[in-house]
Structure 1
Amino acid sequence: MTNITIDKLEFEPFIDYSQIKKRIRLMGIDMSVKYADKNPVFIGVLNGCFMFMADLMKQIPIPCELSFVKLASYYGTQQEQIKELLGVGMDLTGRDVIVVEDIIDSGNSLRYTIDALERLHVNSIAVCTLLMKPLCLKHNFDNIMYVGFEIENEFVVGYGLDYNGQCRNLPDIYKNVGE
């Protein structure tokens, strides 16, 4: 892995795909045991989760369903607002749901997603994220059950994570050299 440059920002290798695959395999085993008889619904938060969700689902041999939501953040008068763009498209009443995120930093999008799911009267909500920035969280969560890697407040790209729409396709994760 070599450094990459995007719009004059330099990124260096941070987490390689082999490490990512190992962590996903372990999370998949744990989920498959815990949810073996529950037919869970995996809900991926687009766009960033697409690579992680695809690899994760390959490690889940139990009966399950999957869907996606797409959220957009924008800044209103004084705080970040979340607007749902694309809904789940299935009845989740009484279902065990696993929300799949690429990264959790402030937790604003996750809070919105969990609140929306609770209004749909799901049985349970667990969260699975590839990356989490614990020092950036603005909310308390007791349902983040699966974390691939905890990272500092670093600007990262690759493996679904982008900068100005670029680098989602890279198999490895890179961090900004200036961070």
Structure 2
Amino acid sequence: MRIEIDDKTFDIMLEYEQIKKRIRLLAIQLNVDYENRIPVFIGVLNGSFIFLADLIKEVDIPSEVSFVKVSSYKGDKSTGRVKEEIGLQMSLKDRDVIIVEDIVDSGHTMEYLLNMIKKEDPASVNVCTLLLKPNSVKTKFDEITYIGFEIPDDFVVGYGLDYNGLGRNLKDIYKAV
């Protein structure tokens, strides 16, 4: 299926049913890995809100949720600079933290987030990302433990990801053509 958003054309990449199945598997892994602990899931706004909402519904261990908002994109390109718009709203000292991200591509945002969270002296920090662009990541991150899908270096929208603020509401994920 082909769609138009603003001045770009996109084709389907991942259908919602595939995404839901993968989220269930990620949640099972999280439930096992964090058994007898109470992790805090830190969603990275705006992109992760749909992914985190679906993920947390599948997690059956006690847990907390909070959000941060950072940005590094303008249009379909990373600026390379990360801007903090909403910071941490709780203490993470001695907590097990799971950063929930919609996509890790260049890694600039992830590097910023990991540095910010590690300053809080958490017990552990891991990353759960729906999408990972392994060929785009500039830095190796040992903390990226939970990956929904590895994708090529395509620009993607849908399921929380946007282009110029549009397309977040799409159930499926689409790639630019």
TM-score strictly above 0.5: yes
Code of the aligned partner of 2:11: E
Question: 1:64 is aligned with what amino acid?
Answer: S
SS for the counterpart of 2:130 is: strand
2:147 aligned with 1:112? no
Alpha-carbon offset, residue 7 of structure 1: 2.2
Show CA shifts across 1:98-137 (max 9, x none): 0000000000000000001110000110000000000001
Structure 1, unmatched stretches of 5+, are: none
Shift of 1:74: 7.0
Cα deviation, residue 73, structure 1: 2.3
Equivalent in the alignment of 2:69: 70
- Please give the alpha-carbon distance, in whole angstroms, between the structure 2 residues aligned to 1:166 and 1:90: 30
- The alignment yields a C-alpha RMSD, in angstroms, of 1.3
Aligned to 1:26: 25
> Once the two structures are aligned, what percentage of the paired residues are identical?
54
Assess, with a 3 A threshold, how the Cα gap between structure 1 residues 40 and 70 changes in structure 2: closer, same or farther.
Answer: same
Cα distance, 1:43 vs structure 2: 0.2
Structure-to-structure mapping, 1:24-173, within 5 angstroms? 24-73=23-72, 80-173=80-173
Give structure 2 stretches of 5+ with no counterpart. none
Runs of 4+ in 1 over 3 A off after TM superposition: none
2: distance between equivalents of 1:9 and 1:108? 25
Per-residue deviation, 1:10: 1.1
* SS of aligned partner of 1:135: coil
| Paired position in structure 2 for 1:8 | 7
Q: Which amino acid counterpart does residue 138 of structure 2 have in structure 1?
A: K
How many pairs align? 173
Q: TM-score, normalised by structure 2?
A: 0.94
